[in-house]
Amino acid sequence: MMHFHVVNHNLSVGNIEVLGVSSSAYFQIGDTDYVALYSMFDTPPESVIVGPGAPLPEPALEDMPQVASQTGATLDVD
Amino acid sequence: MSTSDSMPATQQAARTIRTAHVGVYLLTSVAQAGIAQFGDRGETYARLRALAIQREEDHLKGGEFLFDSYDIFNRSLPELIDPDYENGKDVRIRRYNCSDAIHVGQVRIIAAGSSASLHVGNSMRYTAEARIKHIRQFKISRPFPPVGKPLL
């Protein structure tokens, strides 16, 4: 068993300037018991596609297709 | 908040939950499932999935992209491996607040978006998850460069 004793002394901040908070980031003035932030960010070389974007076949319709863009266009694989 | 009888009597009165006092809060924009909250909160699970597609063609010609096609959206979250915790050596946290207030004069935030959270107040549990896949898509009609020259 480890005992972790935290003493929070007086906290007084003059000015906070933030340009942007994004991608499940967290900005808080206050106390929290538990914080877990996960971020997965993928920009590999193979993310450059030349031609129609269909790196994998379209899943079966009953398998809950989560469509990212709502343009209504269909995949034209040639 | 945990309490203990071993604390000196002078500190007993200050063992309260802290309250945030903010003078000015200037917030320009909250968009894309961003949250701005003043007050306490119990539990949050913010989640963001994004396919960031940069295209040469317009979206109607470029076709659709599906979350299911990419591993990043199905990958399981990393787990913290803590042998001490598994052996029952857990950590007891005891907090003591000297002051029951957090003072902030002014906060100026230009933008909050993509499941971000701006919070003034206390919370118990905050979990957030962002998965972003970047893709750049070019037209196929573009002639390929000669061998040895870079693709771009």
What pLDDT sits at residue B28?
A: 93
Q: ipTM of the assembly?
A: 0.72
Count how many pairs of residues, chain A against chain B, have C-beta atoms within 8 Å.
266
What pLDDT sits at residue B92?
A: 87
Dist. CA A58–CA A73, nearest whole Å: 13
- Residues 126-145, chain B, touching A (beta carbon < 8 A): 126-140, 142
Q: What is the mean pLDDT of chain B?
A: 83
- For A20-73, how does the pLDDT look when each residue is reduced to its tens digit (9 = 90+)? 998 889 999 999 989 999 999 887 666 677 766 655 555 565 555 455 444 444
- Residues 3-42, chain A, touching B (beta carbon < 8 A): 3-42
Q: Is the pLDDT of residue B10 over 50?
A: no
- For B56-107, how does the pLDDT look when each residue is reduced to its tens digit (9 = 90+)? 888 787 778 888 888 889 999 988 888 888 888 888 888 899 989 999 999 9
B152 part of contact set with chain A, CB < 8 Å: yes
The partner residue sitting opposite B98, judged by closest CB among A7, A17, A76, is: A7
Q: What is the DSSP string of chain B?
A: ----TTS-HHHHTT-S--EEEEEEEEEEEE-TT-EEEES-EEEEEEEEEEEEEEESS-HHHH---BGGG-GGGTPPPP----HHHHTT-PEEEEEEESSSEEEEEEEEEEEE-TT-EEEES-EEEEEEEEEEEEEEEE-TTSPPPPTTS---
Best B32, B44, B61, B68 residue to mutate vs chain A (most A CBs within 10 Å): B68
* Segment among A4-8, B98-102, B146-150 with least mean pLDDT: B146-150
Residue of A nearest to B112 (CA): A21
What pLDDT sits at residue B22?
A: 95
